[in-house]
Structure 1
Amino acid sequence: MSISDRIARIFPAADAVPSDARPTAVPLHQTDYLLNGEILAWKGEVQEVLSPVCFATSGGAVRQVLGSFPLMGEKEAMAALDAAVTAYDSGRGLWPTMSVADRITHVQEFIWRMKETRDEVVKLLMWEIGKPLVESRKEFDRTIDYMVDTIDALKELDRVSSRFVIEQGIIGQIRRAPLGVALSMGPYNYPLNETFTTLLPALIMGNTTIVKPPRHGVLLFQPLLRAFRDSFPPGVVNTLYGAGRQITPPLMASGKVDVLAFIGSSKAADTLQKAHPRPHRLRVSLGLEAKNPAIVLPDAHLRLAVDECIAGSLAFNGQRCTGIKIIFVHENVVDEFLKLFSRAIGNLGFGMPWECAVSLTPLPETDKTGYLTELVKDAEREGAEVINEAGGMVNGTFFYPALLYPVNERMRVYHEEQFGPVIPVVPFKNIEDPIRYMVESPYGQQVSLFGRDRKQLSALIDPLVNQVCRVNINSQCQRGPDIFPFTGRKDSAVGTLSVSDALRAFSIRTLVAAKDQPENKDMIGAIVRERRSNFLSTDYIL
């Protein structure tokens, strides 16, 4: 059977879906939300959730209705904010004044409860955003690992801080203190993991939080509500659902949000920041757009380059901010590269997310296939061709990868972050061409270099580390391991995230100091011995 025939038959009949692949409850009408330690029932307007998974019918492919979620408004947004503000209580609340060891205990309790939801969350990841089963399991497990690693990093940070410093006649103890109320907003492509990479460090450092799940990937937070409620004091975690443009501006305009953790578009981030009346008081951690290039040099190991570029450009259908979005290939090897790349695309499994060995799946965004088709047609009008068999073919929510060549700067796909399975390939003769592209680009997250000449690679590394924040040698662009810093230059990011960096992003260095005098020494010693302060302490967390 040809690829085109398989694409035409990609969607199953409703009764052909294995029972163990279905979520426990479908449709899942998300009527619960967490506010000030209570799970409340929503009775207002809702937004229907359609799965990217379609069912084959006599009338064509029809999207599966997964359920719905609340369309909350300004009233509910301010109630969530008030709960978080009250719980923080200007830094005097139970959570921000709690000892580090006790906050860790609460997070460990949450991890234990969250593990119980694994099967249901994984299924919802598959059905809500079309993520393959293996990748959905990996996202859940990686999130658990991230939280465990964060606890270990905080223990190490606290151990270093559990001593006094005496300098120039001053006794001081330096620790990190929370910032206040954090608004955490994750992206749809990693709705669980990316949300928790900001939410968890904000929480464990003593901030109170409001969680706004992404539009695609909202239902999977339903199984976690009771874990949040039973693991943290009232008001420390509050969930908010609805259209971001309706419920987030009032939060920011209040001036009571102290930290904005947002992963999405720079346009939306700019709008949120501008709404805050005290911009110099607002701390931000932003993960924004990227157009990461790969540069294939004439001496590159082509099979390795193809394998890494396939993974970098098509993992989760290319819907990754760290994905390879454009590939520059030296003209001496571009023909062989395209042949190998086309063959590699043809070997990728595609189908429904629960099926074995599936890499390519349906897309969750409304009319994303239409946008990608426009990019392909625009490139074709400007002289590019679709190189691979069935490239760009659409069936419902499914878009088969399109390998475009030769791409030039007149084409939209040369500039726009496609965030999907369209792979533009640009031939080059002079290495200055891809370097110029990076210099002129508004983005500066990562680059992948493929080659074997040490002299040439080293000559590229030194200038490129001043254009992007990660240079990958003979490997795809990626975020992990989570202990590595993750950030970007230009319009790609604000702030740095990693297991340890995130703890610093959601806290501030604070110290208690006194003159080195006998009376002060006695007083400080008594406070420490009698354990009267959670901040001023020499407790050592094992």
Structure 2
Amino acid sequence: MTHDRSAQLAQHFPLLEDIPAEHRLDAPVHQRLSLVGGQMRPWSGPCKTVLSPVCTRDAAGGEPRQVEIGSYPVMGEAESDAALDAAVAAYANGRGAWPTMAVAERIGCMEAFVRRMAQQREGVVKLIMWEIGKSLADSRKEFDRTVEYTQATIEALKDLDNGSSRFVVAEGTIGQIRRTPLGVVLCMGPYNYPLNETFATLIPALLMGNTVVFKPPQYGTLLFQPLLDAFRSAFPPGVINTIYAPGAVVVPRLLASGKVDVLALIGSSKVADHLKKQHPKSHRLRAILGLDAKNAAIVLPDADIELTVKECLLGALSFNGQRCTALKMLIVHRSIADRFLARFTEELGKLKLGMPWESGVGITPLPGLHRTAYMTEALDDARAKGARIVNEGGGAFSQTLFHPAVVYPVAEGMKLYREEQFGPLVPVMPYDDVETALEYVISADHGQQVSIFGSDPARIGALVDPLVNQVCRVNINCQCQRGPDVFPFAGRKDSAEGTLSVTDALRAFSIRSMVAARQTEPSKRLLNAIVTDHRSSFINTGFIL
């Protein structure tokens, strides 16, 4: 039966000639350039082949094979040193052209970048789809949302700067307070939202006057290739520099140099803990981190089953569950567990499995064989310890395509109880006393978000009060999610460090500095002269429209 299901899944992979022409890559993308110090540097050393999550079949009936879509450089320490040195030189201890540039001019550079970026939409979207297996619709949404996020961040910076464009007088002292850059930022994004989540740190870091060393994620590297020239053209030399190298080889070295002022990482807490220790003066290192999450949904006995099933299905399986905000544990009151599972699995069965370009596709291939291997391992562990797969076909896979599995009852001691599965597995845990559900959240290492489903105001209110002290967002009768981007995006415990949102991110990548003088006539004349004659980018009362 397992072999039959695997064979059925394999049929979802196309023959090469059956891929619609409009969705094919025009040619493999062999990345051979890096941007360092404002120059495109060619690479002739070793490269890593990029295999798509998408597999193709051959007419002879052999095993589907991942499609080779390009390659990128495998650089080393010398190249990472060069990228870091370029960023350090461009910052120049805060004296460089970029950190001393007027905010309005930095905004002008970013707007020029966005215009150039928008011209590359089709190519970047196609590479997101082929590199990480995200549906075409969601790949387009990721690109468009990133452009919108950048534009919203620009507007937020205008408001932030305009609010500082005045002098404050207190106790005989005249002061002007503005936000200033922190220095050199090492920026690393995740594979699941390689463009959007990377830019959620990269854009505010640049706008605030920092210089950047950017290391693309392992999965989702090629999609930045069309943007390199836009970076080069829009920003002064050395403001943004790219490095293509194994993180384990170069990132500890970059931090150990002591020249990195900010670590911006979307990844795992274990990696973040290790990296922060590499810096010789850890108290100087600002960290903006988006890390692990194991968001739970607490389903109360009076929950609207139809609404709850709809939101939990989206929350657990959008982009195959490969989101930090995904619902990764469903905690359902035992009195409604059977009814909930029946409806949930019924709706799951309607999800369309297929290739990313197919209209209405709900489940697409995973990044590589290692991910289907992990899903299988976690399932085997749960079944060995008393759980079962409750949906038909759950857990079957062919190469990178994995049929979602609903696992019940999940309990302490199973991998799925605490580990973040980051894939199409849906663990369901029954409870009798709501204290059991609360204790699960309280005892967790993670503290990003939680969802509550129910209709009794008293019950929900009683849950909200303790939960807001455990997680940073409580969602009532809806799935966990990041947006809207104007809302804070943060986490407690091992889930995050620092807060990201359109405005919070600008603050995260900057620090308040001030200029002060005694409230005397000579000081007033001096400050007025500096402002009138535009002698300082910092001391000014200009208004950005």
Taking structure 2 as the reference length, the TM-score comes to 0.98
Q: Deviations over 1:128-174 (max 9, x none)?
A: 00000000000000000000000000000011100100000000000
**Deviation of residue 3 (structure 1)?**
7.5
The match for 2:263 among 260, 269, 277 is: 260
74 and 5 in structure 1: CA distance in 2 versus 1, 3 angstrom threshold = closer
- In structure 1, the partner of 2:195 is 192
Whether the aligned pair in 1 keeps the contact of 2:215 and 2:244 (CA below 8 Å) is: yes
394 and 243 in structure 1: CA distance in 2 versus 1, 3 angstrom threshold = same
Whether the aligned pair in 1 keeps the contact of 2:6 and 2:398 (CA below 8 Å) is: no
The match for 2:418 among 401, 415, 419 is: 415
Whether the aligned pair in 1 keeps the contact of 2:369 and 2:399 (CA below 8 Å) is: no
**Deviation of residue 366 (structure 1)?**
4.0
Q: How does 1:109-124 map to 2 (within 5 A)?
A: 109-124=112-127
**Deviation of residue 7 (structure 1)?**
1.7
- Structure 1 unaligned runs (5+)? none
- In structure 2, the partner of 1:41 is 42
Q: Deviations over 1:417-474 (max 9, x none)?
A: 0000000000111001111111111100000000000010000000100000000000
Q: Does 1:297 align with 2:300?
A: yes
- In structure 1, the partner of 2:54 is 53
- In structure 2, the partner of 1:362 is 365
Whether the aligned pair in 1 keeps the contact of 2:76 and 2:249 (CA below 8 Å) is: yes
Q: Does 1:151 align with 2:154?
A: yes
**Deviation of residue 291 (structure 1)?**
0.4
Aligned AA (1:112): R
**What's the secondary structure of 1:280's corresponding residue?**
helix
- What CA distance in whole angstroms lies between the structure 2 residues aligned with 1:508 and 1:410? 44
**Deviation of residue 266 (structure 1)?**
1.0
Q: How does 1:59-458 map to 2 (within 5 A)?
A: 59-458=62-461
**Deviation of residue 49 (structure 1)?**
0.6
Aligned AA (1:391): G
Aligned AA (1:23): L
**Deviation of residue 399 (structure 1)?**
0.6
Whether the aligned pair in 1 keeps the contact of 2:407 and 2:426 (CA below 8 Å) is: yes
**Deviation of residue 40 (structure 1)?**
1.3
The match for 1:17 among 16, 19, 24 is: 19
- What CA distance in whole angstroms lies between the structure 2 residues aligned with 1:481 and 1:117? 25
**What's the secondary structure of 1:275's corresponding residue?**
coil
Whether the aligned pair in 1 keeps the contact of 2:120 and 2:226 (CA below 8 Å) is: yes
Whether the aligned pair in 2 keeps the contact of 1:189 and 1:320 (CA below 8 Å) is: yes
- What CA distance in whole angstroms lies between the structure 1 residues aligned with 2:409 and 2:79? 51
- In structure 2, the partner of 1:468 is 471
**Deviation of residue 5 (structure 1)?**
6.4
- What CA distance in whole angstroms lies between the structure 2 residues aligned with 1:393 and 1:208? 47
**What's the secondary structure of 2:193's corresponding residue?**
coil
- What CA distance in whole angstroms lies between the structure 2 residues aligned with 1:492 and 1:135? 25
The match for 2:531 among 528, 531, 538 is: 528
The match for 2:501 among 469, 485, 498 is: 498
**Deviation of residue 350 (structure 1)?**
1.2
Aligned AA (1:123): K
**Deviation of residue 411 (structure 1)?**
1.1
**What's the secondary structure of 1:295's corresponding residue?**
strand
**What's the secondary structure of 2:329's corresponding residue?**
strand
- What CA distance in whole angstroms lies between the structure 2 residues aligned with 1:349 and 1:169? 69
- In structure 1, the partner of 2:9 is 7
- What CA distance in whole angstroms lies between the structure 1 residues aligned with 2:338 and 2:413? 22
- What CA distance in whole angstroms lies between the structure 1 residues aligned with 2:369 and 2:518? 63
Whether the aligned pair in 2 keeps the contact of 1:3 and 1:389 (CA below 8 Å) is: no
Whether the aligned pair in 1 keeps the contact of 2:309 and 2:340 (CA below 8 Å) is: yes
Q: Deviations over 1:157-207 (max 9, x none)?
A: 011100100000000000000000001000000000000000000000000
**Deviation of residue 355 (structure 1)?**
0.6
- In structure 2, the partner of 1:513 is 516
- What CA distance in whole angstroms lies between the structure 1 residues aligned with 2:192 and 2:233? 28
Whether the aligned pair in 2 keeps the contact of 1:249 and 1:275 (CA below 8 Å) is: yes
**What's the secondary structure of 1:531's corresponding residue?**
coil
- What CA distance in whole angstroms lies between the structure 2 residues aligned with 1:246 and 1:224? 25
**What's the secondary structure of 1:85's corresponding residue?**
helix
- What CA distance in whole angstroms lies between the structure 2 residues aligned with 1:463 and 1:39? 53
- What CA distance in whole angstroms lies between the structure 1 residues aligned with 2:454 and 2:313? 17
Displacement over 2 Å in runs of 4+: 2-6
Q: Deviations over 1:197-234 (max 9, x none)?
A: 00000000000001100000000000000000000000
**What's the secondary structure of 2:283's corresponding residue?**
coil
**What's the secondary structure of 1:341's corresponding residue?**
helix
Whether the aligned pair in 2 keeps the contact of 1:69 and 1:242 (CA below 8 Å) is: no
Aligned AA (2:166): R
- What CA distance in whole angstroms lies between the structure 2 residues aligned with 1:20 and 1:398? 23
Aligned AA (2:258): G
Whether the aligned pair in 2 keeps the contact of 1:187 and 1:263 (CA below 8 Å) is: yes
**What's the secondary structure of 1:328's corresponding residue?**
strand
**What's the secondary structure of 1:484's corresponding residue?**
coil
**Deviation of residue 99 (structure 1)?**
0.2
Aligned AA (1:16): D
* RMSD of aligned residue pairs (Cα, Å): 1.0
Whether the aligned pair in 2 keeps the contact of 1:4 and 1:390 (CA below 8 Å) is: no
Aligned length: 540
Q: Deviations over 1:281-339 (max 9, x none)?
A: 11000011010000110000011001100111000000000100000000111111000
- What CA distance in whole angstroms lies between the structure 2 residues aligned with 1:97 and 1:537? 13
**Deviation of residue 410 (structure 1)?**
2.2
**Deviation of residue 249 (structure 1)?**
1.2
**What's the secondary structure of 1:182's corresponding residue?**
strand
- What CA distance in whole angstroms lies between the structure 2 residues aligned with 1:511 and 1:162? 12
Whether the aligned pair in 2 keeps the contact of 1:496 and 1:505 (CA below 8 Å) is: yes
Aligned AA (2:283): H
**What's the secondary structure of 1:364's corresponding residue?**
coil
**Deviation of residue 4 (structure 1)?**
6.7
Whether the aligned pair in 2 keeps the contact of 1:205 and 1:507 (CA below 8 Å) is: yes
Whether the aligned pair in 2 keeps the contact of 1:290 and 1:417 (CA below 8 Å) is: yes
Aligned AA (1:413): L
Aligned AA (2:354): G
- What CA distance in whole angstroms lies between the structure 2 residues aligned with 1:533 and 1:366? 56
Whether the aligned pair in 2 keeps the contact of 1:24 and 1:120 (CA below 8 Å) is: no
230 and 275 in structure 1: CA distance in 2 versus 1, 3 angstrom threshold = same
**What's the secondary structure of 2:335's corresponding residue?**
coil
- Structure 2 unaligned runs (5+)? none
Aligned AA (1:171): I
**Deviation of residue 247 (structure 1)?**
1.3
Percent identity of the aligned residues?
57
- What CA distance in whole angstroms lies between the structure 2 residues aligned with 1:195 and 1:123? 18
